[in-house]
Amino acid sequence: MKEANPSAEPIGQNLIKLISNLCFSVFVFSVLIFAVIAITYQPPDPWLESAPALTKLFTESENATFKNDNSILKTGEDLLLAPARAVSPANNPITEAVIEQTEEKIANSTPKSELGCDELGQVVNCSDPRVVIAVEKFNLRVFKSIVFLEYQTPVKGSKSNECDVAWRFRNKKEKSWRKYRDFRRFKIGIEENCTYKVVQAGAWHSGINARRPRSRISNATRRGSGNNAKLAPPVRDEEINDTIPSLGSAMNFNKGRYLYYSRGGDYCKGMNHYLWSFLCGLGEAMYLNRTFVMDLSICLAAPYNPSNKDEEGKDFRYYFDFEHLKEVASIVEEGEFLTGWKKWNRSHKRKLPIRKAVSHKVTPMQLKKDKNTIIWRQFDAPEPENYWYRVCEGQAAKYIQRPWHALWKSKRLMNIVSGISGRMDWDFDAVHVVRGEKAQNKELWPHLDSDTTPDALVAKLKGMIQPWRNLYVATNEPFYNYFDKLRSQYKVHLLDDYKELWGNTSEWYNETTGLNNGRPVEFDGYMRVAVDTEVLYRAKTRVETFYNLTKDCKDGINTC
């Protein structure tokens, strides 16, 4: 009979040790996984939507092309507050406290008038600083959604008791530092204590004596307008500087480092597809610390055009703020770049070093340490391999951040938005009525058509918006009189009520014609939707089609 081994440990103790070691291993493994996630995690692009919503928006595709409902993406000025410019008095908002301080200074430095109150009210001295004070107080009381930034000295109106006043402002719902301009005519009266007061205020841009001096119209505009065409007024927004920057001397061309994307399959796709790809390229240039070579020519996809055909030759500057882009990103226009490149090659025996990346599978990480003057990405493969945004997929998504802050909507379009909002005195509600192809597609949107009929709209809006309010209707419904039934309850405004803001006597027409070498520019479908959307954002009460007017889902059945 064998003797028991006294050194043998009981089975229970061995089991406990085994479980303890296993638990410790699981703990160590969990810590390692957490550390890896913490190191490699990159925050999502700055967007108002959640990360899953963004992923769904941009990755749901058929053959790697975006589904496009012709909506307008929010751009940088809609998302995060832009970095402040250098502080100056012109950028400081005018508040009640600022007005009180100004009043004290005026009271201490201005001698009392020997004229009586009645005499002061008969002939108003518009240059008297107390007139500006009266207008500032009136504007703060009436236009509560506006930030007032600076006033010009009032000038005489058409009558002895009228003054025309101009000021710069921004809307509180716009997060950019951009300033807009208004000038109105005010009827000035006198209080019992001989201070000025506003008796009556004119409409948007009524103070014509206070508007900007008109500059001479360009020769290009004259040539492009034709002999019988009406010339646009020679007025321009002096704050817009979207000229193309020059590379300077060809001798310095080799000192730059450039990222050049050849045209790919993104050309003539929807604008949202274009932006997703463009910001991928710009983001890679920032990651590589290179200047991005930018083609300002855009092909606008068929759904945005009355012809229902793709239209080439559209200028990036019609739609987006090129001045802001130049300020926050290192870019060069493609024509300038190619000219500089050719000049260098003609005057030097040694050609510039170039790295050609013939596939999107060459990752940004592989190019990070490349010393060549030009990295030339070529997109010659068949679709969908030739889409720019493929560069930012996979592992590259952890390194490339799309610079949404660099992309703002065109100031020229935003001037139209301000014009429409200002004509409603910034006091309006809005309803977004989606119809068009969606209303006809009963399979995906079975109730949309009936839920947006004139009778249904009247019934729905009665419970949401007070009667006889200014009601702006942002819509893709092509028939202007479709919303006439709403006029029995509201003061209805549609985009086409403001055609003169982009017509051939408008500031927008004059400036875009200049950009287009003297040829008039069409106010196309993308511009219409962009303006409609921005006016909608500025409404005090906003009613949306989906979830407010209909229970159908925005992207079709079972997508809510």
| 37-59 pLDDT per residue, tens | 544 444 443 333 333 444 444 44
DSSP classification of residue 404 = G
Percentage of residues in the chain having pLDDT higher than 90: 64
Which of 343, 378, 406 is where one domain is finished? 406
Domain count, the chain: 3
> Are 334 and 296 within 8 A, CB to CB?
yes
Which among 512, 506, 456 is positioned nearest to 485, based on CA atoms? 456
314-327 mean pLDDT: 96
Distance CA 546, CA 231 (A): 43
Which among 284, 129, 255, 296 is positioned nearest to 196, based on CA atoms? 129
Per-residue pLDDT at 253: 84
Question: How many CA atoms within 13 Å lie on the side-chain side of 287?
Answer: 22
- Name, of 15-24, 38-47, 222-231, the range with top average pLDDT: 15-24
> Are 262 and 376 within 8 A, CB to CB?
yes
Per-residue pLDDT at 123: 82
Is position 32 within any domain?
no
168-193 mean pLDDT: 91
> Are 438 and 444 within 8 A, CB to CB?
yes
- Is the pLDDT at 326 greater than 90? The verdict is yes
Note whether 285 and 402 are same-domain residues.
Answer: yes
Note whether 390 and 422 are same-domain residues.
Answer: no
Which among 66, 525, 173 is positioned nearest to 318, based on CA atoms? 525
Note whether 251 and 399 are same-domain residues.
Answer: yes
Taking residue 472's Cβ as centre, other Cβ atoms within 10 Å add up to 27
For residue 89, name the pLDDT band (cuts at 50, 70, 90): low
Instruction: State phi, psi for 394 to the nearest 5 degrees.
Output: 65, -135
Which of 363, 388, 406 is where one domain is finished? 406
Instruction: State phi, psi for 223 to the nearest 5 degrees.
Output: -65, -40
Note whether 438 and 480 are same-domain residues.
Answer: yes
Note whether 395 and 415 are same-domain residues.
Answer: no
Note whether 246 and 394 are same-domain residues.
Answer: yes
Question: How many CA atoms within 13 Å lie on the side-chain side of 320?
Answer: 26
> Of 148-152, 261-265, 474-478, 556-560, where does mean pLDDT reach its minimum?
556-560
> How deeply is 170 buried, as exposed, middle or buried, from its count of CB atoms within 10 A (0-12, 13-18, 19+)?
buried
Note whether 377 and 303 are same-domain residues.
Answer: yes
278, β-bridge pairs: none
> Of 27-36, 121-130, 242-251, 423-432, where does mean pLDDT reach its minimum?
27-36
Per-residue pLDDT at 72: 74
Residue type at position 224: G
Tokens 């008969």 sit on residue: 122
For residue 221, name the pLDDT band (cuts at 50, 70, 90): very low
553-559 mean pLDDT: 88
Tokens 């083609």 sit on residue: 295
Which of 406, 440, 473 is where one domain is finished? 406
- Is the pLDDT at 559 greater than 60? The verdict is yes
Instruction: State phi, psi for 13 to the nearest 5 degrees.
Output: -70, -40
272-299 mean pLDDT: 97
Per-residue pLDDT at 109: 72
Is position 337 within any domain?
yes
Distance CA 39, CA 387 (A): 29
- Is the pLDDT at 329 greater than 80? The verdict is yes
- Is the pLDDT at 232 greater than 90? The verdict is no
Is position 364 within any domain?
yes
Distance CA 449, CA 441 (A): 9
DSSP classification of residue 37 = H
> Are 402 and 392 within 8 A, CB to CB?
yes
> Strands, DSSP E only, in 205-329?
258-261, 291-294, 297-300, 311-315
Note whether 253 and 383 are same-domain residues.
Answer: yes
Pair of tokens at residue 83: 């970095």
Q: What mean pLDDT, rounded, does the chain reach?
A: 84
DSSP classification of residue 180 = E
Per-residue pLDDT at 230: 45
Distance CA 284, CA 309 (A): 32
Per-residue pLDDT at 397: 95
Note whether 378 and 471 are same-domain residues.
Answer: no
Distance CA 493, CA 474 (A): 9
Distance CA 466, CA 399 (A): 50
Note whether 386 and 481 are same-domain residues.
Answer: no
Is position 6 within any domain?
no
Domain ranges, residue 264: 242-406
> Of 281-285, 300-304, 346-350, 438-442, where does mean pLDDT reach its minimum?
346-350
Is position 62 within any domain?
no
Distance CA 319, CA 220 (A): 21
Strand 180-190 to 162-171 pairing: antiparallel
Note whether 369 and 283 are same-domain residues.
Answer: yes
- Is the pLDDT at 115 greater than 70? The verdict is no
Distance CA 547, CA 553 (A): 8
- Is the pLDDT at 503 greater than 90? The verdict is yes
> How deeply is 271 buried, as exposed, middle or buried, from its count of CB atoms within 10 A (0-12, 13-18, 19+)?
buried
Which among 432, 446, 449 is positioned nearest to 532, based on CA atoms? 432
> Are 232 and 506 within 8 A, CB to CB?
yes
Per-residue pLDDT at 64: 42
For residue 226, name the pLDDT band (cuts at 50, 70, 90): very low
Asked if residue 83 has a cis previous peptide bond (ω within 30° of 0), the answer is no
Residues 6+ positions from 511 with CB-CB distance below 8 Å: 236, 237, 240, 412
Is position 57 within any domain?
no
Per-residue pLDDT at 213: 65
66, β-bridge pairs: 61
222-235 mean pLDDT: 43
Is position 82 within any domain?
no
269-297 mean pLDDT: 96
Which one is predicted more confidently, 274 or 92? 274
- Is the pLDDT at 186 greater than 80? The verdict is yes
Is position 131 within any domain?
yes
Note whether 401 and 527 are same-domain residues.
Answer: no
